[in-house]
Copies of this chain bind each other. A is one copy, B any other.
Amino acid sequence: MVDDGDFDVVAPTGGAVRDLLQVRPGGPVDLAEIDPRSTPGLPGPEVTWPDRKAWARRQLARLGAELADQQEMLFAGAKADPGVGRRVLLVLQAMDCGGKDGTVKRVVGAMNPLGVHIRAFGPPTAEELRHHFLWRIRRALPPPGSLGVFNRSHYEDVLVPRVQERAPEDLWRPRYAEIDEFERELTDAGVVVVKVFLHISNVEQARRLLARLDDPTKHWKYHPSDVDARSRWDDYQAAYAEVLARCGTEVAPWYVVPADRKWYRDWAVAHLLRETFDTLDLGYPPADFDIARERERLLGTTGPVKVNGS
């Protein structure tokens, strides 16, 4: 751990990370034009001196503390006013090894676990397959006041059938509109949806898969089907590009985070969440009781209290 003293959060360069990384609704997306090693918004070397990786990691520690405070305010607000139902849902999608788990560990892990609600979606079970594809998603929504995280999501249901199962287009294409509708419902119910595609390069995926094969403590993360999916890389990239363009709406935007550099990925996602929380105008709710009277009641139950005792 690094002693970073009074190191404050430094604003991204060139505007909010949300603006830098958001997919323009409806616009075409060419993933080949987005460099997975790029670092949009990262301040220049005059700020990140002497080492931008170490700098980004120290910033992440600060950002994490701020996210924890923001999350607590969201939680406190929901407790004070259960009718409002405000919450944030982070949807994480990526190719295998794209860094979904790492993002959860390092960014989401900075917040109080009491206020975080994580759900990972694997291949649908037999029971799930008997239901509409959004059935299991609806059952996993975060409670009011929390940050929900979907590690994979309903977007698997437009990607996997198309690319892996070569399903007919009329199976998966109509789902775009259903997803739009679903996400609009969520927004209406107070759920702020933040969708992140962690964008890694083909060669970076190969490196990370090899690293898993070479490390016995990582074998459990490897599955031979990862290579099958990898062999359809271009198809997946094309399918993702369409999804990002088609389902990146004003109410539920998609963000493409260059993710070959883990330290940039974490820094960028932390800023995205911070900027999202900022839009919620968070604060601690006022007391709904008479403070002076409660003080009196409390002191009536006790002898002299040395408040600053340790």
Whether A298 lies near B104 (C-beta < 8 A) is no
Whether B298 lies near A206 (C-beta < 8 A) is yes
**Given the complex, which residues of B lie within 8 Å of A80, measured CB to CB?**
220
Main SS class of interface, A? helix
Cα distance, A202 to B303, chains bound together (Å): 10
Whether B114 lies near A219 (C-beta < 8 A) is no
In the A-B complex, list the 9 residue pairs whose CB atoms are closest, starting with the nearest. Answer: A76-B220, A219-B287, A206-B302, A3-B3, A105-B112, A206-B305, A217-B284, A227-B297, A230-B301
Contact with B along A275-295 (1 / 0, CB 8 A): 000000000111101010011
**Given the complex, which residues of B lie within 8 Å of A309, measured CB to CB?**
207
The tally of residues in A whose CB lies under 8 Å from a CB in B reads: 61
Contact with B along A96-140 (1 / 0, CB 8 A): 000001001100110011101010100000000000000000000
Whether B79 lies near A220 (C-beta < 8 A) is yes
In-complex Cβ contact of A285 among B118, B220, B295, B307 (8 A): B220
Cα distance, A231 to B302, chains bound together (Å): 9
Cα distance, A131 to B203, chains bound together (Å): 55
**Given the complex, which residues of B lie within 8 Å of A163, measured CB to CB?**
none
**Given the complex, which residues of B lie within 8 Å of A222, measured CB to CB?**
287, 289, 294
Q: Which of A23-31, A208-216, A246-254 contacts B (4 or more CB under 8 A)?
A: A208-216
Seed contacts A105-B113, A109-B109; 14 additional CB < 8 Å A-B pairs:
A3-B3, A76-B220, A105-B112, A105-B114, A109-B113, A113-B149, A114-B118, A206-B299, A206-B302, A206-B305, A213-B298, A227-B294, A227-B301, A230-B301
